[in-house]
Amino acid sequence: MTFMANWTYNYFIGMLISIILTGVIIPKIILIAFRKKLFDEIDERKIHRGIVPRLGGIAFLPSIIFSFCVVIGFNLRTVELSLGEPLMMEMIPIFFLLCGLMLMYLVGIADDLIGVRYRGKFLLQIFTGTLLVAGGMWISDLYGFLWIHHCPDWLGWLFSIFLVIYVANSINLIDGIDGLASGLSMIALIFYSIVFFLAGEYLFALMAATTLGTLIPFFYYNVFGHAENHNKIFMGDTGSLTIGTVLAFLSIAMFRIPLGDIPGNQNPFILAIAPIILPCFDVVRVFVHRVRNGSNPFLPDKCHIHHKLLALGLVQWKALITILISDATIVGGNLLLSSLVQPTWLILGDIMAWTLLNFLLTHLIRCRERRLGIKLYN
């Protein structure tokens, strides 16, 4: 078996283990949640009806760690010592990632059960980003974005810590309708796993594959489950912070790929940012919207992109499909243009397109409000 074929086999085995393990754990979490009455509180901001547990994210980190470590362990047992030592050296950033994930996982559980102030979560996210930097993962080159290439180490450290905070919160805040956070994350993980595989960064590709595996059964229970049948679950902050941290790590890792290893002469900055651009853009827009309206920018509301689509009259599943198709289109379009357009202009074009889209949606909502005579969106 060739080296590449062996790693292809590893990805599918790792993903399969993660799918099976998460698929076994989630029904147990649902059972315990109903016995202990651990449900997501229903308020005017929430869209769902009925009692639904919000602890699905508890299954994520154990499944990711178990499947990843089993695959790596078997590989280390079967390769020569001379090949195993480089593999262990490449694992150093992963070890620091797992430490950071454990912290985010624990604070997520605490937030889902008893609530945690956003200041406390923010400080922990800074520390998690610092751990990734300590593991050797920081942005050292912007590849022409803002016409900047090489970055001083201290600036790269700050960029990287900011990206961890930004992405983790973006995934957390976009988790507003069934399947949205997990669907957007799966699109990003598929993209990252393929690019890392083609670039020969097999450990990072395996991390993306095992994380993708844990989201597949969750997506099924989250989207196709029914509250009245007691088979529906949300990922909660435990899940969104875990997945957001993995995505931030993979995005930073994409910046570290040597240019010569990237297929198709693509720009690493675009490859790193494009898969997470929609939730990140949405968070900025919502933050600006809250500040402009005099609201606390850190408190939740109903101003996200999915709320706009619901205000237009789309049911949840149609809003979900619309956003996922839009996200896949954004990722694909940026990928096609990354080798042709300077990254600054490409990101500027993304921002302009996103702004115009939101203006159009708001205009359509106001027209619908006037027609119906009711307020649909703040």
Per residue in 55-90, pLDDT tens? 899 999 999 999 999 998 888 777 654 445 566 777
Of residues 179 and 85, more confidence is placed in 179
Residue 320 lies in a domain: no
Region of poorest pLDDT, from 191-195, 276-280, 294-298, 315-319: 294-298
Sign of CA dihedral 243, 88, 153, 252: negative
Express each pLDDT in 24-39 by its tens digit: 999 999 999 888 887 7
Residue 253 lies in a domain: yes
pLDDT over 90 (residue 16): yes
Identity at 133, one-letter amino acid code: V
pLDDT over 60 (residue 152): yes
Residue 43 lies in a domain: yes
Average pLDDT, the chain: 88
Residue 362 lies in a domain: no
Q: pTM surpassing 0.95?
A: no
Q: What pLDDT score was predicted for residue 81?
A: 45
Distance CA 98, CA 94 (A): 6
Over residues 371-376, mean pLDDT: 82
Looking at residue 260, what DSSP letter applies? G
Number of H helices, E strands in the chain: 14, 0
Categorize the per-residue pLDDT at 117 as very low, low, confident or very high, splitting at 50, 70 and 90: confident
Q: What pLDDT score was predicted for residue 18?
A: 97
Q: What pLDDT score was predicted for residue 126?
A: 96
Distance CA 33, CA 113 (A): 11
Residue 139 lies in a domain: yes
Residue 338 lies in a domain: no
Instruction: Quote the percentage of the chain above a pLDDT of 90.
Output: 58
Residue 303 contacts by C-beta under 8 Å, 6 or more apart in sequence?
Answer: 286, 289, 290, 377, 378
Region of poorest pLDDT, from 17-21, 234-238, 301-305: 301-305
- The neighbour count for residue 124, using CB atoms within 10 Å, is 20
Instruction: Quote the percentage of the chain above a pLDDT of 70.
Output: 91
pLDDT over 60 (residue 48): no
Q: Three-class SS of residue 338? A: coil
Express each pLDDT in 353-365 by its tens digit: 999 999 999 899 9
Burial class (CB in 10 A: 0-12, 13-18, 19+), 126: middle
The structural domain count of the chain equals 1
Over residues 226-247, mean pLDDT: 91
Residue 357 lies in a domain: no
Residue 353 lies in a domain: no
Domain span at residue 105 reads 3-265
Q: Please state the φ and ψ torsions of residue 161, each to the nearest 5 degrees.
A: -65, -40
Q: What pLDDT score was predicted for residue 292?
A: 80
Q: Three-class SS of residue 150? A: strand
Distance CA 15, CA 313 (A): 37
> Tokens in use for 103?
């912290």
Categorize the per-residue pLDDT at 43 as very low, low, confident or very high, splitting at 50, 70 and 90: low
Over residues 92-96, mean pLDDT: 93
**Across the chain, where does the E strand assignment appear?**
none
Identity at 306, one-letter amino acid code: H
- Locate tokens 């994520």: which residue? 60
Check: CB of residue 189 under 8 Å from CB of residue 215. yes
Of residues 266 and 377, more confidence is placed in 266
Q: What pLDDT score was predicted for residue 110?
A: 93
